[in-house]
Amino acid sequence: MNRETTDETAYRCLFERFASLGIDAKVVPYPEHATVEEGKALRGAMAGTFTKNLLLKDKKGRHFLLAIHEDRTLDLKAVSALVGGKGHLSFLAGERMQALLGVQPGALTPLGLMQDDEGVVTVVIDASLMGDAQLNFHPLRQTESVGLAPQELVAFVRSCGREPLVVDFDTSPPAA
């Protein structure tokens, strides 16, 4: 099967999973963009809270996909302690992201978790997002956005056999 067919199959499976969970996920076009700032300028008045997603690993090789508010900045050393990481966190290469989650850089999304056949990615959700009405994510492709309620995101992650970590990034990490 070629990559385009695989991508279309994954996309269809994503929406089948939403339907099986009772999630009515509405898709809207979202112009392709390279940065959060560029995305802000292109999206206009789209509803919901926009996220940025980071795929990180610790020195023991544990993988963390952070879904955070698009404007949040993080100290990766503090994040490591808050998520239970071991040592310094670093970003995964695009090739590894593609292999793990089936998404290209720029389209990273916790929705790619359904393609994590290795079962190695832990989804970490920014606690500040949990009270929002709609969180926006790429549905495995960068040219669209799909809005989910926070509880729908949690249900999706659980349907992938994982328990998401909800982390308050505004708190101090535990003492070492």
Instruction: Give tens-digit pLDDT for 5-56.
Output: 568 999 999 999 999 999 999 898 887 777 778 777 777 778 899 899 999 9
Name the token pair of 3. Answer: 């990559």
What angle in degrees, to the nearest 10, is found between the helix axes of 3-20 and 150-159? Answer: 110
**pLDDT-wise least confident of 41-55, 78-92, 107-121, 124-138:** 41-55
pLDDT at 100: 93
Q: What is the pTM of this model?
A: 0.91
- Dihedral of alpha carbons 142, 149, 18, 165, sign: positive
pLDDT at 176: 56
Neighbours of 62 (CB within 10 A): 17
- Dihedral of alpha carbons 80, 83, 85, 90, sign: negative
Residue 137 to residue 148: CA distance in whole angstroms: 8
- Determine the average pLDDT of the residues in 153-163: 97
Instruction: Answer yes or no: is pLDDT of 115 > 90.
Output: yes
pLDDT at 4: 53
